[in-house]
Amino acid sequence: MTPDQTIQAKRQAAMAVLVHANTDELARRVATLPAPPHRSIRAPENGLVMVRGRVGGDGAPFNLGEATVSRAAVRLDSGEVGFGYVLGRDGEKARLIALCDALIQSNNHGDALEAGVLSPLREKLLAERERKARQAAATKVDFYTMVRGEG
């Protein structure tokens, strides 16, 4: 992968964790970081995205219905521009995601972000997914359970 593709993949992977975070926890964790001077270039705003599905699950696309989305953008004084997009109407969450996205692009803050924010949130997300999957797995029908019969 080219350096640009690598950094893009890192940003996408980080966003994939951040969008699932609880806003209060995200705010607390980000507050522990030494945040460099930055300013908003897009104040958080709410809007819609049209969600698309596919005919048959894997065929031609169709419009399913809209979902609310918040978005924001921040610019570090050092020049990096971060974007935050997240389902729902939580402008603060979008702003925090944008800030993290900017930090991940900066050489000075990536490690602190990973350790203080991304790593713990990723762990929580995976644990939650695992928990739900285990609950579903318990409802899987086992057609071959052996039952001790009479005689």
Nearer to other proteins, 32 or 68 (CB): 68
Q: By CB under 8 A, what part of segment 90-119 binds other proteins? A: none
Separation between Cα atoms, residue 13 and residue 6, nearest integer Å: 11
Per-residue DSSP letter, 90: -
**What are the Cα distances from residue 79, in Å, to 16, 37, 38, 103, 125?**
23, 10, 9, 11, 31
Please report how close the Cβ of residue 100 comes to other proteins at its closest, in angstroms. Answer: 12
Phi, psi of 58 (to 5 degrees): -135, 15
- The DSSP element (H or E) to which 18 belongs, if any, is helix 3-18
Q: How far is the CB of 34 from other proteins (least distance, A)?
A: 22
By beta-carbon proximity to other proteins, the closer residue of 13 and 115 is 13
Q: By CB under 8 A, is residue 52 in contact with other proteins?
A: yes
Q: Which residues sit at the interface with other proteins, rule CB under 8 A?
A: 4, 8, 11-12, 15-16, 19-20, 41-42, 45-69, 71, 73, 79-81, 83, 85-89, 129-141, 143
